Chain A
């Protein structure tokens, strides 16, 4: 194998991981829309899942279910542990996304926008140290709900 092939076969998974992490971070840090931030977070988590899966992979091996054709040599089966781990990690990731989406819908309901700039403007307008009555405030808002959502309709 020449260096070119080594690079793509052996190293590309790392490159892909790093690239995905960077894309994810870019989305989380620089995008101004909260949903896009959330998407960035998902890409970020995906990168790490990919990273694990790559390491479970072996050239020419098969799924870790006993197969006559492959015999009982462990080298002929891919490592199942990373897959098992990532199954859990995916559950975690989905759960995180679920909570995040619930938060986002709450934010949208309260402030009528998911754009960070507009949110910040709204937040600054409020007095600091107001008492905690979030739930109550939100309910009242919802009842009065008629206020038009002038921002964030995109």
Chain B
């Protein structure tokens, strides 16, 4: 009985996703049919010169994930612990290919892969340019880190659920990677839904309330995705094509057409909803808070960022950014909404008593920074936005993972229970502190440089008010993070309840098979918030990922110029190339 209901969720989601993965194949089949009608158009494309073995790379990026989608559930069925191990292996392979992809793209330029051999614009095309290769790399790094962390975390928080959990994780990464790489508008929608559906399932795991917030997210997410699809419909009606490059080449003739404006607005609104652009962020706080810490740690750093990436793709690569941002004044709308989100998210974060919820609101604010960068239309601002996709992913996943660790070790995530934890869990909170300083934007962490390029862009665009707001908004961020740091390091547990018994199994993070005792512990912890007295650093499997990412914020900050000149400058759209920078 007990297993039945919860597993029904997984069964439902699993079946649905299996269908969806095959839908990618359906789309390819659709391309097959189209070939009859449009065969001759293919001459437009496929002329790009690339080294003979490089063109397979886009497919190779997806390959480990596709294999993982099958292997994780299959082997997990044999032995539960295999699910975790296979997932880590899959993600490491994915990371390796992603690295290879980035270096290849930087050396040889954009790579095109024609799915099933059909020439675009008829067949579906996967494109790896500097931008998508960069984002794929970010996804891969986060995936590997969170996967390593999840092994122990899932076992302790949701025992017996490892197999579906890791399967969903792989499917979600597959969906996100597909979104990033595809060169086809409709294919993007399919991957969009693949990632979203697995995210809904992942988010339903967690607190008692998690399914409710996940359901709300599902409704709103579907509105967003459908709105995007509607926009694609308009574009298809206007151009007769679904290939991004093809559509982009056809659009200049259509600029006066009101239907094009409708298409654009629908797409931006849909993507804005998925990236939690103010005021379409309503789904986010609950969804992030109630989901289990592993779910949040994998979803929060990447989900909204990939939507932001798609927004960049649409505005700057499919549409004519100058027309979108200046002629339609959409730049004004997006930047100001995003800035409102920055301020609103930060203010709400200050008001929170629950650390995870605070981080969720801060995610809204951070996505706002990316939105500001996208909407400004200045090359430096866009550099800032793209850089912040990476930077925010590193810091936020580290922060959420630490929150999860504290939750596991002490059974609480209430703000006032964090007093003095810095002494007890020094390494955990070293990671937290580094990531928090990065969030505030203290140099030389990477958060500072996101702010630097965004500010440079706003100054270049002469957006003085936004510039001042941008700079001052990090004061709000500082407000809630320093408040927390003060508690963590400088206060002792005076306002903590007298809980003395250590619960929630603060052991070395090793294997625990007796899930029942664990459950009791968690329940007890939830009731009183005790267990703080005996809190200490977890084992390496839990500690290392957030720590690496925390140190990563520092390293990425120091080497940010390399990313900017070697990767992001090459990823900028042709209209926004910065003279003397990149290729």
List residues of chain A with CB under 8 Å of any chain B CB.
25, 28, 34, 37-38, 41, 44-45, 48, 51-52, 55, 64, 74, 79-82, 84-85, 87-89, 91-92, 94-96, 98-107, 109-111, 119, 123, 126, 128-140, 142-143, 145
Contact = CB atoms under 8 A, between A and B. Distances in A.
A137 B197 contact: no
Contacts of B108: none
Contacts of B197: 95-96, 99
Contacts of B219: 28, 37-38, 41, 100
Which 7 residue pairs across A and B have the least CB separation, nearest first?
A: A84-B30, A102-B12, A95-B16, A129-B354, A142-B2, A102-B9, A136-B519
Contacts of A142: 1-2, 5
Given A99-B218, A131-B407, A133-B526, A82 B236 contact: yes
Contacts of A85: 27, 30, 186, 242
Contact of B211 (A38, A52, A110): A110
Tell which of A48, A79, A99, A131 has the most Cβ of chain B within 10 Å: A131
A100 to B, nearest CB: 5
Contact of A91 (B26, B204, B525): B26
A91 B20 CA distance: 7
Given A84-B30, A99-B12, A106-B6, A134 B292 contact: yes
A48 B5 CA distance: 32
Interface string B193-211: 1000100110011111111
A16 to B, nearest CB: 14
B358 to A, nearest CB: 10
A103 B10 CA distance: 9
A105 B12 CA distance: 11
Contacts, number: 212
Given A132-B207, A133-B523, A98 B158 contact: no
B17 interface: yes
A134 B212 contact: no
Contacts of B1: 142-143, 145
A131 B1 CA distance: 24
B15 to A, nearest CB: 7
Contact of B209 (A25, A38, A126): A126
Interface in B19-51: 19-20, 23, 26-27, 29-30, 33-34, 37
Interface of B: 1-3, 5-6, 8-13, 15-17, 19-20, 23, 26-27, 29-30, 33-34, 37, 157-158, 161, 186, 189-190, 193, 197, 200-201, 204-212, 214-215, 218-219, 222-223, 226, 229-230, 233, 236-237, 242, 290-293, 353-357, 407, 411-414, 504, 518-519, 522-523, 525-526
A88 B407 contact: no
A52 to B, nearest CB: 5
Given A81-B242, A123-B209, A135-B161, 6 more contacts: A84-B30, A85-B30, A88-B186, A129-B413, A134-B158, A134-B210
Given A44-B223, A105-B8, A133 B519 contact: yes
Contacts of B211: 103, 106-107, 110, 134
A49 B215 CA distance: 22
B229 A131 contact: no
Contact of A74 (B6, B37, B292): B37
Nearest to A119: B212
Contacts of B26: 84, 87-88, 91
Contacts of B207: 130-134, 137
Contacts of B193: 92, 95-96
B16 A94 contact: yes
B215 to A, nearest CB: 5
A99 B8 contact: no
Nearest to B228: A48
A132 B17 contact: no
A136 B219 CA distance: 26
Given A84-B29, A94-B16, A103-B9, A143 B2 contact: yes
A95 B212 CA distance: 18
Contacts of A25: 223
B226 A44 contact: yes
A101 B208 contact: no
Tell which of A80, A88, A105 has the most Cβ of chain B within 10 Å: A88
Tell which of B29, B215, B223, B414 has the most Cβ of chain A within 10 Å: B215
Contacts of A103: 9, 200, 204, 211, 214-215, 218
Contacts of A102: 8-13, 201
Contacts of A74: 37
B294 to A, nearest CB: 9
A13 B459 CA distance: 48
Contacts of A64: 33
A74 B34 CA distance: 12
17 contacts: A48-B230, A85-B30, A85-B242, A87-B30, A95-B16, A95-B197, A96-B197, A100-B215, A103-B214, A104-B215, A107-B215, A128-B353, A128-B414, A136-B519, A138-B208, A140-B523, A142-B5
Contact of B230 (A51, A88, A95, A98): A51
Given A55-B233, A103-B218, A81 B34 contact: yes
Contacts of A38: 219
Nearest to B221: A96
A111 to B, nearest CB: 8
Contacts of B414: 128-129
B27 A88 contact: yes
A138 B4 CA distance: 11
A31 to B, nearest CB: 11
A38 B518 CA distance: 36
Tell which of B9, B208, B219, B412 has the most Cβ of chain A within 10 Å: B208
A103 B221 CA distance: 15
A129 B356 CA distance: 8
B233 A99 contact: no
Contact of A96 (B222, B353, B407): B222
B33 A138 contact: no
A108 B487 CA distance: 39
Contact of B9 (A84, A106, A136): A106
Given A91-B20, A109-B5, A134-B206, A98 B30 contact: no
Contacts of A119: 212
